[in-house]
Amino acid sequence: MSTSINEKIYLNKLTIKIEELITNFNGLAGISIKDLNSGWHYGLNDDLIFPTASSIKIPILLKLIQESQNNNLDLSRIITITDDMKSRGSGIIHKMQGTINLSIENLAILMINLSDNTATNLCIDLANMEEINQMLEDYEFKNMRLNRKMQDYDAINSGKENLSSVKEMNFIMEMLDSSSAISPEVSNKTLEILALNKSTPISQLLPEHIKIAGKTGGMPGVRCETAIIYLNNTKYALTVMTSLSNTEKSSSKDNVLELNGTELISMISYEVFNFFNVLDNSSKFGQGLTQTINN
């Protein structure tokens, strides 16, 4: 289903709002939106390459699920985690006492849902960093690369960083949704884990019942998130990536110059949702569907 002329003109109003937000933001930001039904898309600074922070965990998860579907990895296999295997930072495993036994699937869930760094580093070992990057190369991602583990400060200090363009982060979600290059079984399992309930910048200002599948990420000066947002009749992929910005909470959300990256992502998500939600509840001529039914 293509976007009508009326809808395109209407969505142009959304792009004007987004351009104003990103232009006036005190850091650097890029955005990519794709209507997964009609194919309408919009990008601003979407060719720029940003640190991915924890959103790089999306391709890690994808590789794990692929290996499971290829019978190279048993997701039910139990991994024994000792104290010397625990990584600090985000997550909960490093706070647990003693030796812990978790299945690979539960490690993947903790990697996505709690952004657990111990789980992530174990998942990287299981999926193999070189093979994750080979998968990305095979899918013709030119910029998205996993270059280091979580909390690897030696790698960080030597200039190694996990990176992607905004456009490519959005495209990996489009690939998962379309199940074209990726098998439906792998796509569905990956999206199922990405959709486990969690509070993120994209979801923060949206109604609680809205289904969202994605991953957020943050480091000093960096905030980003990539997700698919599912409405009743519409679904769209949204990626916002920021860098060079203040991470403290703003004193006023009315001043874009004072927004941090997290707040900017939430505001952009809110604006995008409001426009797509109107379209989701309207006919192609712009008539409200509820009014059509009642009258």
pLDDT tens for the chain, 295 residues long, are 667 788 889 999 999 999 999 999 999 999 999 999 999 999 999 999 999 999 999 999 999 999 999 999 999 999 999 999 998 888 899 999 999 999 999 999 999 999 999 999 999 999 999 999 999 999 999 999 999 999 888 888 898 999 999 999 999 999 999 988 899 999 999 999 999 988 999 999 999 999 999 999 999 999 999 999 999 999 999 999 999 987 666 655 556 667 899 999 999 999 999 999 999 998 776 777 554 433 3
Element (H, E) at 19: helix 5-24
Distance CA 10, CA 20 (A): 16
pLDDT at 211: 97
Would you state the pLDDT for residue 293? 39
Identify each DSSP E strand in 119-190 by its residue range. Answer: 163-165
Check if the beta carbon of residue 279 is closer than 8 Å to that of residue 288: no
∠ CA 45-47-48, nearest 5°, is 70
DSSP string for 40-59: -EEEESTTSEEE-GGGGHHH
Helix, coil or strand: residue 249: coil
Question: CA 84, CA 100: separation in Å to the nearest integer?
Answer: 12
Length of the chain measured in residues: 295
CATH code for residues 5-56+65-72+147-280: 3.40.710.10
Which ranges constitute the DSSP H helices of 25-101? Answer: 57-69
- The structure tokens listed for 233 are 């009749």
Locate the domains of the chain by residue range: 5-56+65-72+147-280
